Structure 1
Amino acid sequence: MSSSYMEPDTFRMHLNSLIQGLRNVTFMVQKQKGELVEYEDWYTRFVKEVAPKPLMRWAVRSRNRIVKESDLELLSEAKIRWVRNWAVKSERNFSFPPRMSLRDMLAVIFADPGNPRAGVVTISRRWVDKALPDYELLHATREVFIELSRLLHAGHTAAGVTSCALDSREPSCVASRIDPQPLACMDINSGGRQEHLDLDDGFGIHEVEHRVIRDERLVQKANKRYGTFTVTATHPIEVAPQLMETARMVLQKDKCHMPMMWSYRDGKIVDMISPNFVDQNGKYLMFHRLADRVESLRADGIVLVIEAWWAQGEERDAQGQLIPPRDRKDRKEVLHVAAATRGGERLSLLAPFSRTKLGKITIEDTITDSERESDVLWPFMPIFERWNQMDERDER
C-alpha cells in the first residue's frame, strides 16, 4: 500500500487484499483452535480487549463489504499543517481529486488570500475511507496489524515458542519472530508523501535522509578521539545525565555537537537520528517531523542532545510578546540534553559554555531543570501533543 500510495487503482487493490488478509488471521486461528495451547484463555482475552475498539469493528465491516458488496469508498485528502512558532499552529483537511499532485494542491490552497503567509506549511497526502474519516488508511490498517500481531504473540507465548518457520521475506523487517510492536518498515508518516514550504522565503524545504551503517573501525577511531564511555541506563530520564557527560567530552574535543535524538520503546532504543536544519523555520519543521517519527515508531520515550541559545527569566517586547533567547543580548550558548516520556516525565540538563577568540571551550556546571512547562521544552511540544493524541486513540 505504501509503495503505491500515489497510484489510486493499485493502492485500492492492495488495500482490498490487505483487509481480507487481516481478517483471515482470526478465521485461521479459530479453525485450528483444537490444536492451540490454552486457546480459550488468550483468544477470549483478545476478543474482550478488541471488541470495543472502533478500528477492529471497521476492519470486520470493511472485509464483509469488499467480499460481498463493493470496494471501500475512498476519499483523497490533503492534511495541511501550518506552523508559525512553537505556540501557534493549525491543521486543516481538504478534499482533492485522487490524481492531483501535491504541488497543485498547494497552488489551490494558497490561491485563497486568507490563508497564512508566514511560517512553515506541510501538505500531506491522505487516503481515507468514507466510513472511517478520522484515520489515514496506512495508519488504520497498521493498528489492526498490531492488534493481530499481539494475538499471535499471545498464542506463541502460550505454546512456549517465539518464532514461526518463515523463510526470508521482502522487506527484510518481516521476520520469523512474532513481535507485538509495529514493524520498523511501517512508516505512517513518510516524507515521500509530504511537501514543505517556507512561507517567509517562498522556497520549498526538502527532506534528505542518509542512513549510516555502524562501522567498527570508526567506533575504534571515535574511542581513541573521545575516550570510552558506557551508557548503562535504559530509562530516558536516567539516560540523560550519562549522555550529558559524553556530550561534554565531544563538545570539548570538536568545539560543537551535532543534534542527536534517541527514541525508546519499552526500555530499548528503537531509533537513533541526527536531525539537522539551517534556519528557524527549518527547526520548527524538524521537531514536527520528529513527532511524526515518534508516532510511527510508537516510541514512549526520547532523549535529545542539541546546542541551543538560553537566557534566564523572561523578557518581552513593546507589544508584550515573549522575546526568544536567540534574540536577547544576555543569551548564552548551552549544551542541552532533554529527556521525556509518554507518561509525562520531563528533564532538561543545561550546560552553559563560552568560546575564546582562539576557539577554546569553557563549559560551566550542569543546571538541572525538571519543570514540566519549562521554556526550554517548548520545541518538544509537537512530540508531547502527538503522545496525547496517541493516548486519546488508545494506541499502546
Structure 2
Amino acid sequence: MTAARPCPMPTAHKRLMDCHAMWHAMSAAYMQPDSFRMHLNSLIQGLRNVTFMVQKQKAELVGYEDWYTRFVKDVTPRPLMRWAVKSRNRIVKESDLELLSEAKIRWVADWSTKEERKFTFPPRMSSHEMLAAIFSNPGNPRVGVVSVSRRWVDKALPDYELLHATREVFIELSRLLHAGHTAAGANSCALDEREPACVTPVISVQPLACMDINSSLRQEHLDLEGGFGIDEVVHRIDRNDRQVELAKQRYGTFAVTASSPIEAAPQLMEAARMVLQKDKHYMPMMWSYRGGKIVDMISPTFFDQNGKYLMFHRLADRVETLRADGIVLAIEAWWAPDDKRDAQGLPIPPREREDRQEVLHVAAATRAGERLSLLAPFSRAKSGEISFGAIISDPADEDMSQLGPFMPIFERWKQMDERGEQ
C-alpha cells in the first residue's frame, strides 16, 4: 500500500470537507426554517473560503497559474457561480438571503400527460395542508399521481433549489482542488475523517451519491384515483461474496464487458434471460452509467400503473442526483406487435389487449441521444417452463412505443443540458 503524501493544500482541503459536513447539516434541517437558514449561511461562506485558502497558498502550489486560471475561466461565466460569490458578500456585509418556501407539484396522468407547477407557501405549512389548499380548486385533476416536493429557493436564484445549487458549487470546488492535488502528485491525503462517515479526504470530481438532491424525505405522493398516499421504501443490499457464489451456482456465469450502455444491453439481456429461465419471473433492474462505468444498480418495484408512472419519475430524480449519462433497464412487460386505437383515437396499451404477449424488455439510452430497445418474447408452458422467441431489436424506436416510460429521464437530461451540468 502506498503511503499518503502530505496534502499540498491542507487548509483548503479541510475547508472543503467542512463544506461537505455543512451540506448534510443543512439537508437535515430542511424542515426547520431557522436552522436551515443558519446552516445555509455557514455553507455559502465556507464554499467561498475554499478559494480564499487556495489563493492564500498560491506561491507554494505546483502549476497554480495553469489549473487555477483554467478554473476561473471556466466558472466565471456561470450564473450559479456568480450567485455563490454575490451571496457570500451579501450574507457577510448586508443581510440573509431572501428565501422562499416553495412546493413543486407534479401531476402525472400517463407517459405523455404531465404538468408541473410551483406554489409559494408559509415555511411551516405541512404537505397535507398544501395539498388541501391546492386541490380545493375543483378544476384540478382527479386522476393519476401527484407528487409534492418541498423546496427552499433564493429569490435571486429562483430556478435552483438550494441543496442543488450549493451541491453544484461544491462539485466545482472539488474539481479545483482535485486539479491542484493532481499537479502536486498527491493522490490521497492523510486528513482525519469526520461525521457523517461520508465526509472523507477523498476528492471526487463527480457528484457524491450521499448528496441526494431529490430525497424521498422531502417528497410526498398521492394516488388521485385511489385517494391514498404512496410510500417509498428503500432497502440497501451490500455485496455478499457468499451470495454471489450461490448465484453463480444457480444461474451460471456471465460477463458484462461493455462500458457503453448501448453495447452492454445485449449482454444484460442474456443475463436476464438466464434468470427468467431459472426463476420464472424477473425483478426489474436498472443500471446507471457515468463516464463508461456503472455507478448505481437498483431494482425498482411498483404494484400498479400509477406506481409505475411515479417510479419512472423517481428514477429520473435518481439520474439527476447521480448525474448519470446512461441507463439500462431490464423488466418484464406486455407487448403487442402493432398499434391499435380506441374510439377516441387513443392508443390501447398492450396490457389492455387480448393479443398481448409477455416479453423481457431491455432498454438502453444515453444522455447523448443513443437509444436501443430489445424485446425477447416468451411463453410459459403448463409446467412453468419458459420458451423464448427471437429477440426483436429496434435501435431507434422512433415512435417511442417501447421507450415511452423513459420520457421523464429524457426530459431530465434535457434540463441538465440547459443548466450546463456536465
TM-score bracket for this pair, using the shorter chain length: over 0.9
User: Which residue of structure 2 lines up, in the alignment, with residue 235 of structure 1?
Assistant: 260
User: Which residue of structure 2 lines up, in the alignment, with residue 167 of structure 1?
Assistant: 192
Alpha carbons 1:174, 1:183 under 8 Å: kept: no
Alignment partners' CA distance in 1, 2:269 and 2:124: 49
The one of 384, 406, 409 aligned to 1:380: 406
Alpha carbons 1:85, 1:119 under 8 Å: kept: yes
Residues 70-126 of structure 1 show CA distances to partners (whole Å, capped at 9, x for unaligned) of: 111110000000000000000000000000111111111111111111000000000
Uncovered stretches (5+) of structure 1, i.e. residues with no partner = none
Counterpart check, 1:393 vs 2:402: no
Residues 219-254 of structure 1 show CA distances to partners (whole Å, capped at 9, x for unaligned) of: 111111111111111111111111111111100000
User: Which residue of structure 2 lines up, in the alignment, with residue 77 of structure 1?
Assistant: 102
**2:403 match: secondary structure:** helix
Letter in 1 for 2:407: M
Letter in 1 for 2:76: A
User: Which residue of structure 2 lines up, in the alignment, with residue 12 of structure 1?
Assistant: 37
Identify which range, 352-361 or 238-247, moves more after superposition: 352-361
Counterpart check, 1:112 vs 2:137: yes
Letter in 2 for 1:52: P
Alignment partners' CA distance in 2, 1:381 and 1:62: 35
Residues 355-387 of structure 1 show CA distances to partners (whole Å, capped at 9, x for unaligned) of: 122211111121111124331000000000000
The alignment's TM-score, normalised by the length of structure 1, stands at: 0.99
Relative to structure 1, the CA distance from residue 25 to residue 372 in structure 2 (aligned partners, 3 Å threshold; closer, same or farther) is farther
Shift of 1:157: 1.2
**1:376 match: secondary structure:** coil
Alignment partners' CA distance in 1, 2:409 and 2:280: 29
Letter in 2 for 1:225: R
Alignment partners' CA distance in 1, 2:145 and 2:185: 51
User: Which residue of structure 1 lines up, in the alignment, with residue 20 of structure 2?
Assistant: none
**1:2 match: secondary structure:** helix
Alpha carbons 2:103, 2:120 under 8 Å: kept: yes
The one of 360, 365, 380 aligned to 1:355: 380
Alignment partners' CA distance in 2, 1:172 and 1:268: 24
Counterpart check, 1:65 vs 2:84: no
Letter in 1 for 2:178: H
User: Which residue of structure 1 lines up, in the alignment, with residue 18 of structure 2?
Assistant: none
User: Which residue of structure 1 lines up, in the alignment, with residue 4 of structure 2?
Assistant: none
Uncovered stretches (5+) of structure 2, i.e. residues with no partner = 1-25
Residues 154-202 of structure 1 show CA distances to partners (whole Å, capped at 9, x for unaligned) of: 1111111222332222233322221111111000000010000000111
Counterpart check, 1:187 vs 2:196: no
**2:364 match: secondary structure:** strand
Alpha carbons 1:75, 1:129 under 8 Å: kept: yes
Residues 276-320 of structure 1 show CA distances to partners (whole Å, capped at 9, x for unaligned) of: 000000000000000000000000111111001111121101110
Alignment partners' CA distance in 2, 1:342 and 1:312: 28
User: Which residue of structure 2 lines up, in the alignment, with residue 95 of structure 1?
Assistant: 120
The one of 272, 291, 300 aligned to 1:275: 300
Pairs within 5 Å for 1:240-389: 240-373=265-398, 374-389=400-415
Could you say what the CA RMSD is over the residues aligned between the two structures, in angstroms?
A: 0.9
Counterpart check, 1:134 vs 2:159: yes
Letter in 2 for 1:108: A
Alpha carbons 1:260, 1:272 under 8 Å: kept: yes
Alignment partners' CA distance in 2, 1:174 and 1:344: 35
Identify which range, 328-337 or 376-385, moves more after superposition: 328-337
Letter in 1 for 2:415: Q
The one of 24, 27, 35 aligned to 2:49: 24
Alignment partners' CA distance in 2, 1:362 and 1:273: 27
Alignment partners' CA distance in 2, 1:393 and 1:162: 30
Shift of 1:344: 0.5
Alignment partners' CA distance in 2, 1:151 and 1:190: 27
**2:40 match: secondary structure:** helix
Alignment partners' CA distance in 2, 1:204 and 1:358: 39
Alignment partners' CA distance in 1, 2:163 and 2:397: 33
User: Which residue of structure 2 lines up, in the alignment, with residue 200 of structure 1?
Assistant: 225
Alpha carbons 2:373, 2:397 under 8 Å: kept: no
Alignment partners' CA distance in 1, 2:187 and 2:416: 28
Alpha carbons 2:334, 2:356 under 8 Å: kept: yes
Say which structure, 1 or 2, has more relative contact order (CA 8 Å, 6+ apart): 2
The alignment's TM-score, normalised by the length of structure 2, stands at: 0.93
Identical amino acids, percent of aligned pairs: 77
Shift of 1:136: 0.3
Q: How many residue pairs were aligned?
A: 396
